[in-house]
Structure 1
Amino acid sequence: MSDFDAIVLGAGAAGLMAALTAGQRGRRVLLVDHADEPGKKILISGGGRCNFTNIHTSADRYISENKHFARSALARYTPADFIALVNRHGIAHHEKTLGQLFCDGSARAIVEMLMGECRVGNVAFAFGQPVSALDHADGIYRITLDGIEHSAPALVLATGGLSIPKMGATGFAMDTARRFGLPVVQTRPALVPFTLGEDEALFRSLSGVSAEVVAKAGKAAFREAALFTHRGLSGPAMLQVSSYWEHRTEIHVDFLPNAENGWLIAEKQARPKATLRSALARRLSERLAEALNDRLGIDAELSNCKDATLREAEARLARWAFSPNGTEGYAKAEVMAGGISTRALSQKTMEATNVPGLYAIGEAVDVTGWLGGYNFQWAWASGRAAGETI
């Protein structure tokens, strides 16, 4: 007879949710993590206040090889469901922008809430114990922790992805999936800052300058803040489009999303002695206005500029092209895109279709949400889907 009904590997957001759900259904659950405490990424998220969900969650705000895969789990465990849990525990929270919900206090309250719910379900914990061996035979999964073997008919891969390796991130879930014959979609850093090459070094001199823009990569467009860094481009708008960006392609930025068509010619008529730089400085920061003007190379008063020249400048400011030479990689990526292929999983239960008893949830799966609480909601929803089945 096996020790447990289910072993959950990974005590992050998805693993905690799967464990507490199964435990409260009367299942004997062992929750394992190589880290010495649970929820380490929860604790650092949202500047330490945990952006725990987004009220605008819908399946079209997730990237996956199968764009419909997340729909079932997200429909069955919604932001309202998690908010109800948060409210039940008396955790004060607020909406920041664009549907993003944060704790008023520390993210630790979310971890303590989830751990409390695990204890209600009598979940057993094994923290600070890496898996030294993993075997499967006769429908039973066996893992070895600190020389002791534990077994269960169900094994849940909830060890996350490759983002933020200094937090202990590894490729364990993908390696294990491959071992059991599950396909893995090519992984890459997502929600990550861009780096710029020497030919765009002028913009690196703007480190610390931010502006509200519309950033575009392919068909994806996001209107949020962009931030110039000493290495390139960051801020919410850039992190969002990074998930859609393909290497060696351009991204485009509208620096003046509120400007009406023909605004520069109107500016010329209203202030003929103004320069392009001064016109830009009325709408953008002085440093950014100067950098854009230097690139456009228009130094004359607007009255001395042809309308065609101003229309051309306006068009370029509305679709400014950057050619990133890369990103800052997994070290700065908030999440990993790609992962265990959804083709191998049931969208209802998260169980591997050809490997009975093996489940994959959370970031390890090829489902990547937008910035702003979407990835936590996927963790809660996928964890709940598996926890209701194991």
Structure 2
Amino acid sequence: METFDAIVLGAGGAGLMAAGVAGQRGRRVVVLDHADAPGKKILISGGGRCNFTNLHTAPDRYLSANPHFAKSALGRYTARDFLAMVERHGIAWHEKTLGQLFCDRSAREIVDMLLGECELGGVTIRLGAALGEIGHADGRFTVRHGDRHYAAPSLVIATGGPSIPKMGATGIAYDIARRFGLKVVEPRPALVPLTLPGDEALFRALSGVATPVVARAGKVAFAEAALFTHRGLSGPAILQVSSYWRHGDPVTIDFTPDVMPGWLVAAKRARPRATLTQTLDLPARLAEVLAARLAIGELGATSDRALIEAERRLSDWRFEPNGSEGFAKAEVTVGGIATAALSSKTMEARSVPGLYAIGEAVDVTGWLGGYNFQWAWASGWAAGQAM
């Protein structure tokens, strides 16, 4: 039995962050993972350049059964704090749209940075073996990892959620949480493409066409690009609303977000022989499909009333998704270990001293664009400071 001050389950972003912080505070930490390499999801993120944080991080950009839970951790370890670490390690970065920060070169630099921080803290990392029995008695946690056994007064659940199972993701975090009496908010795929039923095959024929829109689901709206796929809808705007979408609810798209009311009637007065397809400032294939669905050809041959109705439809086009592409294509998970059981300051379970849950394993899910990485860093830092 090898003894440590803390055992961290999961060598992803949150786990490595927590381990590095605790190690540099003088704690003896071991990180255990079944994967053969650390930070695998980091490496594939952002097209291989890792969208590692977002300058506009704020608690209202996260979903949780308790919308206030993330405030403490996000406030105590900010995007600027993580950026300072990135710059300290000499990693070149750039800002894309909407505050999204990426590595100039490779996501590998973020993984190497986290491993470097762990090395500074003397952290032990053990990979490539399955997690076995986990016990708890007399204030000490025990974990079997392959044929080795570990013991420590602190245990950190940082095994993520079930999104992207081809990367080895599982729901083991929830099994561990339930083992200790913690509740789990039902997990579901988030930041995921939505699928359309057969009667929307005409739109699926537009596979590969993208355009800026405003997409809405429930009370939220996102102004970004939507992409038609052979299965349905994707692109940043759709991924964003997918986190809020519930089965049976519609998703509406404004294909003309930048026009003034009455624009089609005005276009008719200016160019009566122009068709709706020619008038729409959209990709040609999409304009043709929308015009066909609206049954409008030349503007001059169409009544003002019909054009006003077309304006309304184009600004509030209703889709009825029949599902999503599931955890296989989901970037993250909504739901997870219930925050009601955790301290928002330390991430420690109130009913099980020494047990912590961080990152995607917890019921805190960010928007697309670096927000989920910032939650990993912030929650990992909070636990690392507390252990």
TM-score, scaled to structure 1: 0.98
SS at match of 1:144: strand
Match of 2:18 in 1: 18
State the one-letter code of the partner of 2:117.
Answer: E
Alignment of 1:133-212 (within 5 A): 133-212=133-212
Report the residue type matching 1:260 in the other structure: M
Match of 1:73, SS state, is helix
User: What is the distance in 2 between the residues matched to 1:264 and 1:77?
Assistant: 49
The percentage of counterpart residues that share the same residue type is 68
Q: Is the 8 Å Cα contact of residues 192 and 327 (structure 1) preserved in structure 2?
A: yes
Residue 270 of structure 2: aligned partner: 270
* Aligned mates of 2:118, 2:207 — CA distance in 1: 44
| In 2: Cα distance, 1:326 partner to 1:372 partner | 23
State how far apart, in whole Å, the 2-side matches of 1:16 and 1:90 are: 19
Matched with 2:288 is 290
Other-structure match for 1:53: 53
Structure 2 residue ranges without an equivalent (≥5): none
Deviations along 1:314-343, one digit per CA (max 9) or x if unpaired, are 000000000000000000000010000000
Contact 1:2-1:153 at 8 Å conserved across structures:
no
Q: Find the aligned partners of 1:2 and 1:152 in 2 and give their Cα distance.
A: 9
Deviation at 1:279, TM superposition (A): 1.0
Between the aligned partners of 2:139 and 2:262, the Cα distance in structure 1 is 69
1:221 aligns with 2:221: yes
The SS at the match of 1:98 is helix
Query: Aligned AA for 1:143?
Result: V
1:372 equivalent in alignment to 2:362: no
Query: Does 2:72 align with 1:75?
Result: no
Matching residue's letter, 2:192: V
C-alpha distance in 2 between matches for 1:312 and 1:163? 41
Structure 1: any 5+ residue segments left out of the alignment?
none
Residue deviations 1:97-117 (CA, integer Å, cap 9, x gap): 100000000100000000011
What displacement does 1:247 show? 0.5
Q: How many residues align?
A: 387
Does the 8 Å contact 1:2/1:140 carry over to 2?
Answer: no
Specify the SS of the correspondent of 2:329. Answer: coil
TM-superposed CA distance for 1:228, in Å, is 0.3
Alignment match, 1:41 = 41
- Map Cα deviations across residues 29-79 of structure 1 (whole Å, 9 max, x no partner): 001111011000000000000000000000000000000000000000000
Q: Which letter maps to 1:369? A: G
Deviations 1:228-283 (A, max 9, x none): 00000000000000000010110000001111111101100110111112112xx0
Q: CA deviation at 1:148?
A: 2.0
Letter in 2 for 1:210: A
2:350 corresponds in structure 1 to 353
Q: Is the 8 A contact 2:142 2:152 kept in 1?
A: yes
1:161-199 Cα distance to aligned partner (Å, 9 max, x none)? 000000000111100101111010011000000000111
Distance 1:144 1:272 in 2: 76
- Mapped to 1, the partners of 2:98 and 2:36 lie a distance apart of 34
Shift of residue 131 of structure 1? 1.1
Alignment of 1:313-332 (within 5 A): 313-332=310-329
Q: Which residue of 1 aligns with 2:64?
A: 64
The structural deviation recorded for 1:146 is 2.3
| Larger CA deviation: 80-89 vs 129-138 | 129-138
What residue in structure 2 maps to residue 246 of structure 1? 246
Question: What is the Cα deviation at residue 2 of structure 1?
Answer: 7.0
Query: 1:388 aligns to what SS in structure 2?
Result: helix
| Native 8 Å contact 2:213 2:226 kept in 1 | yes
Correspondence 1:92 to 2:89: no
Structure 1 window deviating more from structure 2 (141-150 vs 198-207): it is: 141-150
SS of the residue corresponding to residue 134 of structure 1 reads strand
* 2:350 aligned counterpart, secondary structure: coil
- For residues 358 and 45 of structure 1, the distance between their equivalents in structure 2, rounded to whole angstroms, comes to 29
**Please, what is the CA RMSD of the aligned residues?**
0.8
Distance 1:216 1:115 in 2: 40
Q: 2:384 aligns with which of 376, 382, 387?
A: 387
Corresponding letter in the other structure for 2:288:
E
Structure-2 separation of matches of 1:305 and 1:112? 62
Please tell me whether residue 336 in structure 1 is matched to residue 333 in structure 2.
Answer: yes
C-alpha deviation, 1:122, in angstroms = 0.1
Instruction: Please say if residues 2 and 149 of structure 2, whose CA atoms lie closer than 8 Å, have aligned partners that are also in contact.
Output: no
Q: So what's the TM-score if we normalise by structure 2?
A: 0.99
Q: Distance in 2 between matches of 1:168 and 1:86?
A: 27
